[in-house]
Each structure stands twice: as structure tokens, then as C-alpha cells.
A = this chain, B = another copy of it.
């Protein structure tokens, strides 16, 4: 039984999911109208019923990729079980968030590239969830529990994000001449971030 091709129902979201799959496998440059349409067994021109052009579709895929990253960070934070020491819990959540960021990039390097590619079209809406918000919320929790000195708070997002994003980029691009172990690099960087912010660390 061959299903009728007509009136897919949710072609728009199906195309975006196919886009995520393709981008994760072959990188953002592999996002092509024909391939996307083929993946959903639909003619290329059908794509234009749902997106004005490829640039807008790509921008949506990039946004979804960033949201997946942010969700992975949230999930990692939630996986940390609370304990009697609220400050320590906040630190563990912060640590888990940073490690999730890098782990996402290592696990899906091309999707990570897709997430932060230079966009050719503006995204239709803000990221939800957003990695930035996840990070700043975690930093706020550190201040609230007294783990992070308030005068370090303004610069903290940049310090943390730069370290983690930089490590992710370096590992993804394999920029290091001597191929360091990812685990050791992640430990060193996360320890560095905590030292930079004056946090306790094990």
C-alpha cells in the first residue's frame, strides 16, 4: 500500500526534523532544498509552501539545534539530586551545565556547528529554552546561596560561557596538535572556571 503523497499534514515540522538530522550528520552546508524534500518524499517546490526560502529554513534548524543544546543543559542540571548543602547543590548544577554544553558538542559536532553558524536570515523567535538563560539562572542561584561573590557576578557569564564554548569549539575542530583526552580537558577547564569564580571545588 503506497500512501498518497498529498497533504502531508505537518510537513513544516517534518522538514525541520529532517533538517536537524541532515545537519547533525553532514553539517549546516548540507542543508539543501532538494535533499530536505527528498527526505520527506515530497517535491522540492512543496518546501516553499512553508518557508520563504532556504535561508529561513536553515535559521529555524539552527534555532532548534540551540534549543536542543539548552535542553541538554537543563536536563543535566535536573539530574543533580539536591542535598542538605544548597550551595554545593548549586555548584554541582552549574558544573553539570557546563559539562553538558561540551558533551553536546562532542557528541554532535556538526549540530553544534549548525547551532552557531553565521545565520543568513533572522530567527523567527527567541530560543526557548535558551542556553544564555540557563547559564544566568545557574549563576543567580550561586549568588543566592552565597557561593558566588556579587562583585564577580557581572563578568561571570562571559567567563563561564567563553571557557565552555571555547573548549567545545576546540574539541569539535580538533584544533589541538597533541590530541588531549577530552575528559582531562573538560576537568581542567571546569576546574579553571570554578577557580576563576572563586567557587568551591572537589
By a beta-carbon cutoff of 8 Å, the part of chain A in contact with chain B is: 27, 113, 116, 118, 130, 132, 154-156, 158-159, 161-170, 173, 175-177, 180, 184-185, 187-189, 191-193, 195-198
Contacts and interface: CB of A to CB of B under 8 A. Distances in A.
Identical copies of this chain, number: 2
Q: Which of A162, A173, A191, A193 has the most CB of B within 10 A?
A: A162
Contacts of A164: 162, 166
Nearest to A187: B155
Given A173-B116, A195-B198, A196-B195, A189 B159 contact: yes
Nearest to A130: B177
B166 A161 contact: yes
Contacts of A191: 155, 196
A130 B178 CA distance: 13
A131 B45 CA distance: 47
A191 B196 CA distance: 8
Contact of A166 (B132, B163, B175, B180): B163
Contact of A188 (B130, B158, B195, B198): B158
A185 B158 CA distance: 6
A192 B155 contact: yes
Contacts of A118: 27, 113, 173
Contacts of A175: 116, 165
A161 B165 contact: no
B197 A192 contact: yes
